[in-house]
Structure 1
């Protein structure tokens, strides 16, 4: 390993990450599926290395150093980079319309689910908590509807976004779906086992069996404990 200023691996990609970070897991899963030759350097988010600002001035993970020395940041950027740089991974469809539909799904999940997971936990009174939980449930219902529409478009029996092939639709969302267990534990939230969420449950049952999911999944107890810091009563 060569490092005049910060550590990196010569001639391959260096991914600066944290195994417990749901954003970093996007890049980890994309690189895993695309079989990108890379080295992971784990960043302790509670005690970041003095040199890390040279990699990412925002001090966030993930970050990537390419073999040419270019630094890239932001999880969605890195997962799309893996898809673009290694097209044989088929993380993105080849058709432009299908790519747009997949990106819309990720955007809906990112804007309707992720903020309300954290919002439900951060709520400081019963009214605020219930509003965020209701918004989270509404977002999950919207995600369910998008899955139904996608499966009608593509046909077949597969239960992933692209049917039987894992894609950025899963890579960019599943680490946050995993965090619902913390909202259930800390806020009593649960996704109803009803027809209006049937597609969501079917999708989750499919992606949770993927090696790309299990390889990087934070176990439930760890997720519950990790997310406790966002709950005001726990501070």
Structure 2
């Protein structure tokens, strides 16, 4: 829950003895950290960074000038979205965002790596595609969806986990890390010639069930950026 504050240092704004999250509403990586904090229910100060016109002081917070960045109560600075989200999950275990066993955590990390390799990278290739390459890039993205569909089917088939989320009935760390990218299908659909949709067939059924559960959950909708603002923010990736 973001908190109001007038605390401003001589160098950059932050919450004294509290958490400060530097973020951008349309950045899918930044949404990971914001969603983790929101689900943990801990007070934090939210500082929005305009990535097209960054504040003159932001290089002091993060020399790479990327989001998200977290300033902890001790003054330590953390960067990288998954590192920040995992820090929040470990710091506030009552939120139950992460599995407790080492094996379950390892399987979760493998799933997130699979998602990054087969979905996230494919998004950007589609959005950047020219008319000549669009069809091939759309098919590669669908191939990635099939990979994730298979991973979800396998995971739900193990033990008593029947979904619709990675940890069963709860929106947790897997969804914190992926929800904003599931939302990017709307961006891909907007910029694709002929649109883009994950087919409603058996080979995509697990993925569609998971994505539908994500987009219906308050943990997603409470952090979700406006669709048209999100779409507009990706225009810069389109070929001239």
**TM-score tier (shorter):** over 0.9
- Return the offset for 1:228: 2.2
> In 1, Cα distance between the equivalents of 2:78 and 2:39?
19
**Contact 2:155 / 2:161 at 8 angstroms: preserved in 1?**
no
Q: Which residue of 2 aligns with 1:223?
A: 230
Alignment of 1:38-187 (within 5 A): 38-126=44-132, 128-187=133-192
TM-score scaled to structure 1, two decimals?
0.94
* TM-score after normalising by structure 2: 0.92
Unpaired runs of 5+ residues, structure 2, are 1-6
Counterparts of 2:175 and 2:10, CA distance in 1: 37
Name the SS for the 2:234 alignment partner: helix
Match of 1:192 among 191, 199, 207: 199
Q: Is the 8 A contact 1:154 1:163 kept in 2?
A: no
Say which of 185, 188, 209 aligns to 2:216.
209
Q: Distance in 2 between matches of 1:41 and 1:96?
A: 34
Asked if the contact 1:154/1:162 (under 8 Å) is kept, the reply is: no
Deviation string 1:3-36 (CA, Å, 9 cap, x unpaired) is 0211100111100001111110000001111112
How far did 1:215 drift?
Answer: 1.0
In 1: Cα distance, 2:214 partner to 2:131 partner:
34
Q: Which residue of 1 aligns with 2:4?
A: none
State how far apart, in whole Å, the 1-side matches of 2:211 and 2:226 are: 15
Extract unaligned runs of 5+ from structure 1: none
Distance 1:154 1:217, change over 3 A: farther
